[in-house]
A and B are shown apart, each in its own frame.
Chain A
């Protein structure tokens, strides 16, 4: 069931849209912000609310890589793997993260704390290499900083 707050927020988003379809992405973001990810059940609830079919909404959901259709950890690390960051040392950063968390891309740490995802350009090339945890951008990052940064997340 969508919570009253979720419904309220979605309705606000709807007011700015020409059709329910157009509000699909906003609605997914609203719900994901509260639930961390979009399960099949969640997707169906949102679709029902927007009078869309699950297929129609899932088409939107799966198109965007930042709508998570599988369960993610409590925090999502987006590691930039695009050109600037790659030049500036993304690979060693990736290695360090892998070792520290024991996971590769697309995986979630055993304690459910982090999910690690690649992201082609976070739009902060001037700070390369960068990564983003939840809404926070970090960069330029040196390997030694990793421990401290991760420690900020429960």
Chain B
């Protein structure tokens, strides 16, 4: 670790304190000085490319002339004397921006970046307010870069941030810089979809409107007209923090919300562009009802359907509630209260539920700690068991992709190269391969960052894990066989490291593998290591659901088959994505009445007798628990529509109306749900704590969701009434659906947008941090539920999975996951759906049936599938990969042994 000290430096004649180990630009910004800059970014470090951060340095107090230096390339040293406001350096900075702007088209009025543009801010800041250049501008042809990113090369100022992010941080290899001098071009070799799963970050990394959000462009909204609220990504289990923006009742985009411990500055493309499901025509918008099974659903007014539902609930008989890993804790809990704990079922099958319970157990009982994504990024030896992280936990893949750089930084430090000197560190550490080991059945995008990759079937990965554990525990001396042959190497690297990390997850459906991961962590703990453990889970509230300790969906099916269910309430869940269709059919058939609360039309909602459309995450609030057991709140971005209620409120109201419980005269609020939750489950005891500024009312009222520039507030409703309506009240958060309210910097978890005087772009974030790239002022937020003291001793599972004996013509069918395609909600976003693959079956090139495009038949769980072969070099032998969640791929419990035969067509 780096040792820093506080030293005294002089800026424009006055003494200040600054930290060594930082560069002068960071120090000046931390002191509150507005020093313009482009190429430096907290996540990218310095390269000194743009010359915008020039300041003057003086030898001593007698030096009158001084020399112009780049602040971002100058280390903080004791006694440093500089000037930011020296006239010569002021002129220099204005001249730099004038050059940078020579070819810029000055098209702010039609540019999507306008209003939150770092280039605009810096231009104003340097005082370059008059354009002198009278000549022809060079122009570029723009490229088609896929459904996410719009390209407008003429706006580029050649700061190189985009390629540095894309190549160095995201590991992408298809975006680059071309040409030289005044025709430098940033783009692809040819038009085409950007390959990186993190391409959307270009929108925020680029300080100009060169790379902008194509989905936002399609909605055509000026950014100051957006209403934004702190939210949590709902597209995987990591819980990245987001800032979705709304206008005219539609979500218009999603931006990163900085969380120092989770997503930092970045989001993956599923998280950024999956939001359009909120606006999609797959949304349920009208309540539907059918009095009898055999007739079609018909539309019904919400109040009427509500009454029907109440009548139904009043019926004597069993009511069963099926919860959901994509619904909030509060909504799940409200359903549990409505139907009673004994009738509440987690909406996942026994297998998945067991895996989640296992993940919960190993993370709560220790001894390894559940660590955050950013803590994972600081590990010095990592073993990944079974997860294709880029597809199942993308931001974790992004973090681990940076391990090589972390290693280079550590080495560079030994020769006094500071961590921020990006180009030098990269040059110096070129060969640094980090101790990252990946064991998966299929090749993964993260492989390029790993030291060693093993391709193995799930049970073999578990065996490898156990071999590593045995090696660490020195129980066995026998030379292991492949793939376990690598166990000694891996064990050695882990044992040598200071901050080892074991990553696993539920995506392969292998409890043995998750147990093996826990065993390795345990063995390392016994060696006295501080071990991190990450278990990836599939959905945004999978872990929260696991903590509710409910029975599983298979048990619900079982109970129904025994013929004892009157009404089934399904909350935000498509059962046909959970269990085989026949099983779900049978279940729904058995139930007297099926009531579905969801925001998307699903095969389950089509079968329901009552369908109540409910708000998406964008129009309701709640709590989600991510894979590390961190409970995080998301807030409604815009008010719920009158006819589309919020699920948790509706459920509480149903309970009030049907059973006369609760406080019927009061509108149900989230805080009550949290309070009850915290009483019912010790693990949630922290949730009852009110949000910071609810406890201490912020001066000036609530934090506004709308910016000061929000336009047309009166005009928006003028067609209906010229009287400006009162902003809707939000009973659940210290946030207002308004421009007015608290004017200072809100507590970190209530930040609705980044802004500081003179700083309108996302770069204003540095004004919310004590030091750029550090935690937000006001500290961390989100409650870690798993921080209890880990048990000192616990036993190994040491369950060797049964060996699998594949007969001729048999393959082991394993699940493959696609960032674009395997997740339900984002597939209702057209931009994401466009990138999803068609159903296929992946085979190793040496498989006798491996012929690209050939049709093969396989029978699994009594269903015969006909799929086109995709030859996947590197796929483990004997394995066939089935892409999960795609339309046309049925739900089957995997891994499974299957027989493959040639299809008729070949």
B185-220 vs A, CB cutoff 8 Å, 1 = contact: the mask equals 100111000000000000000000000000000000
What is the distance, in angstroms, from B577's C-beta to the closest C-beta of chain A?
36
Within 8 A of A (CB), among B729-781: none
Query: Which residue from chain A places its CB closest to the CB of B177 in the assembled complex?
Result: A59
B178 lies within 8 A of A59 (CB): yes
B180 lies within 8 A of A56 (CB): no
Docked CA distance A65–B183 (Å): 12
A62 lies within 8 A of B179 (CB): yes
A56 lies within 8 A of B179 (CB): no
B174 lies within 8 A of A53 (CB): yes
A58 lies within 8 A of B176 (CB): yes
A55 an interface residue at 8 Å Cβ cutoff? yes
Docked CA distance A53–B188 (Å): 10
Within 8 A of B (CB), among A46-77: 53-56, 58-59, 62-65
B425-446 vs A, CB cutoff 8 Å, 1 = contact: the mask equals 0000010000000000000000
A55 lies within 8 A of B179 (CB): no
Docked CA distance A64–B430 (Å): 24
Q: Say which size band chain A's interface belongs to.
A: 10 to 19
A40 an interface residue at 8 Å Cβ cutoff? yes
B856 an interface residue at 8 Å Cβ cutoff? no
Chain B CB count within 10 A is highest, among A54, A55, A65, for A55
Query: Which residue from chain A places its CB closest to the CB of B174 in the assembled complex?
Result: A55
Q: Which residues of chain B come closer than 8 Å to A53, judged between CB atoms?
A: 173-174, 189
B53 an interface residue at 8 Å Cβ cutoff? no
Chain A CB count within 10 A is highest, among B175, B179, B430, for B179
Docked CA distance A65–B179 (Å): 8
Query: Which residue from chain B places its CB closest to the CB of A63 in the assembled complex?
Result: B180
What is the distance, in angstroms, from A68's C-beta to the closest C-beta of chain B?
13
Query: Which residue from chain A places its CB closest to the CB of B187 in the assembled complex?
Result: A55
Docked CA distance A65–B178 (Å): 11
What is the distance, in angstroms, from A113's C-beta to the closest C-beta of chain B?
27
Docked CA distance A63–B176 (Å): 12
What is the distance, in angstroms, from B195's C-beta to the closest C-beta of chain A?
9
B190 lies within 8 A of A56 (CB): no
Query: Which residue from chain B places its CB closest to the CB of A65 in the assembled complex?
Result: B180
B179: contacting residue among A40, A43, A54, A63, CB under 8 A: A63
What is the distance, in angstroms, from A145's C-beta to the closest C-beta of chain B?
32
What is the distance, in angstroms, from A119's C-beta to the closest C-beta of chain B?
14
Within 8 A of B (CB), among A15-57: 19, 40, 43, 53-56
Query: Which residue from chain B places its CB closest to the CB of A64 in the assembled complex?
Result: B180
What is the distance, in angstroms, from B146's C-beta to the closest C-beta of chain A?
14
A58 lies within 8 A of B180 (CB): no
Q: Which residues of chain B come closer than 8 Å to A43, judged between CB atoms?
A: 189
A59 lies within 8 A of B176 (CB): yes
What is the distance, in angstroms, from B54's C-beta to the closest C-beta of chain A?
26
B180 lies within 8 A of A55 (CB): no
What is the distance, in angstroms, from B328's C-beta to the closest C-beta of chain A?
42
Q: Which residues of chain A come closer than 8 Å to B180, judged between CB atoms?
A: 62-65
What is the distance, in angstroms, from B209's C-beta to the closest C-beta of chain A?
22
Query: Which residue from chain B places its CB closest to the CB of A57 in the assembled complex?
Result: B189
Q: Which residues of chain A come closer than 8 Å to B177, judged between CB atoms?
A: 59
Interface of A is mostly: helix
Docked CA distance A59–B180 (Å): 9
Query: Which residue from chain B places its CB closest to the CB of A43 in the assembled complex?
Result: B189
Q: Which residues of chain B come closer than 8 Å to A55, judged between CB atoms?
A: 173-176, 188-189
Docked CA distance A53–B174 (Å): 7
Q: Which residues of chain A come closer than 8 Å to B188, judged between CB atoms?
A: 55
Docked CA distance A56–B179 (Å): 12
Within 8 A of A (CB), among B152-176: 173-176
B176: contacting residue among A19, A56, A64, CB under 8 A: A56
Q: Which residues of chain A come closer than 8 Å to B175, judged between CB atoms?
A: 55
Docked CA distance A43–B176 (Å): 15
Within 8 A of B (CB), among A84-122: none
Docked CA distance A151–B185 (Å): 39
B173 lies within 8 A of A62 (CB): no
What is the distance, in angstroms, from A104's C-beta to the closest C-beta of chain B?
17
Chain A CB count within 10 A is highest, among B180, B185, B189, B190, for B189
B189: contacting residue among A19, A54, A63, A64, CB under 8 A: A54
What is the distance, in angstroms, from B84's C-beta to the closest C-beta of chain A?
35
A40 lies within 8 A of B176 (CB): no
Q: Which residues of chain A come closer than 8 Å to B179, judged between CB atoms?
A: 62-63
Q: Which residues of chain B come closer than 8 Å to A40, judged between CB atoms?
A: 190
Q: Which residues of chain A come closer than 8 Å to B174, judged between CB atoms?
A: 53, 55
A56 lies within 8 A of B178 (CB): no
Docked CA distance A54–B192 (Å): 12
Docked CA distance A20–B430 (Å): 13
Docked CA distance A64–B189 (Å): 16
Within 8 A of A (CB), among B492-551: none
Q: Which residues of chain B come closer than 8 Å to A58, judged between CB atoms?
A: 176, 178, 189
Docked CA distance A141–B38 (Å): 47
Q: Which residues of chain B come closer than 8 Å to A65, judged between CB atoms?
A: 180
Docked CA distance A43–B173 (Å): 15
Docked CA distance A130–B685 (Å): 84
Docked CA distance A37–B185 (Å): 21
Q: Which residues of chain A come closer than 8 Å to B178, judged between CB atoms?
A: 58-59, 62-63
Q: Which residues of chain B come closer than 8 Å to A62, judged between CB atoms?
A: 178-180, 185
Docked CA distance A54–B179 (Å): 14
Chain B CB count within 10 A is highest, among A40, A63, A65, for A63
What is the distance, in angstroms, from A120's C-beta to the closest C-beta of chain B?
11
Docked CA distance A137–B174 (Å): 39
Q: Which residues of chain B come closer than 8 Å to A56, judged between CB atoms?
A: 173, 176
Q: Which residues of chain A come closer than 8 Å to B190, judged between CB atoms?
A: 40, 54
What is the distance, in angstroms, from A41's C-beta to the closest C-beta of chain B?
11
Docked CA distance A150–B198 (Å): 54
Q: Which residues of chain B come closer than 8 Å to A54, judged between CB atoms?
A: 189-190
Docked CA distance A136–B894 (Å): 69
What is the distance, in angstroms, from B179's C-beta to the closest C-beta of chain A?
5
Query: Which residue from chain B places its CB closest to the CB of A52 in the assembled complex?
Result: B173
Q: Which residues of chain A come closer than 8 Å to B189, judged between CB atoms?
A: 43, 53-55, 58
Q: Which residues of chain B come closer than 8 Å to A64, judged between CB atoms?
A: 180
Docked CA distance A67–B465 (Å): 51
Docked CA distance A58–B188 (Å): 9
Docked CA distance A63–B179 (Å): 4
Docked CA distance A60–B173 (Å): 14
What is the distance, in angstroms, from B48's C-beta to the closest C-beta of chain A?
19
Docked CA distance A59–B184 (Å): 10
Docked CA distance A40–B176 (Å): 16
Query: Which residue from chain A places its CB closest to the CB of B179 in the assembled complex?
Result: A62
Docked CA distance A58–B190 (Å): 10
Docked CA distance A59–B178 (Å): 5
Q: Which residues of chain B come closer than 8 Å to A63, judged between CB atoms?
A: 178-180
Docked CA distance A19–B427 (Å): 13
Q: Which residues of chain B come closer than 8 Å to A19, judged between CB atoms?
A: 430
Docked CA distance A58–B174 (Å): 10
Query: Which residue from chain B places its CB closest to the CB of A18 in the assembled complex?
Result: B430
Query: Which residue from chain B places its CB closest to the CB of A59 in the assembled complex?
Result: B176
Docked CA distance A53–B176 (Å): 10
Docked CA distance A54–B173 (Å): 9
Docked CA distance A62–B189 (Å): 10
Docked CA distance A106–B190 (Å): 22
What is the distance, in angstroms, from B145's C-beta to the closest C-beta of chain A?
12
What is the distance, in angstroms, from B141's C-beta to the closest C-beta of chain A?
14
Q: Could you write out 19 A-B pairs with CB less than 8 Å apart?
A: A43-B189, A53-B173, A53-B189, A54-B189, A55-B175, A55-B188, A55-B189, A56-B176, A58-B176, A58-B178, A59-B176, A62-B178, A62-B179, A62-B180, A63-B178, A63-B179, A63-B180, A64-B180, A65-B180
List residues of chain A with CB under 8 Å of any chain B CB.
19, 40, 43, 53-56, 58-59, 62-65
A-B pairs with the 5 shortest C-beta distances? A54-B189, A55-B176, A62-B178, A59-B176, A55-B189
List residues of chain B with CB under 8 Å of any chain A CB.
173-180, 185, 188-190, 430
Q: A53-B189, A62-B179, A65-B180 given; name 13 further pairs at CB < 8 Å.
A: A19-B430, A40-B190, A43-B189, A53-B174, A55-B174, A55-B175, A59-B176, A59-B177, A62-B178, A62-B180, A63-B178, A63-B179, A63-B180
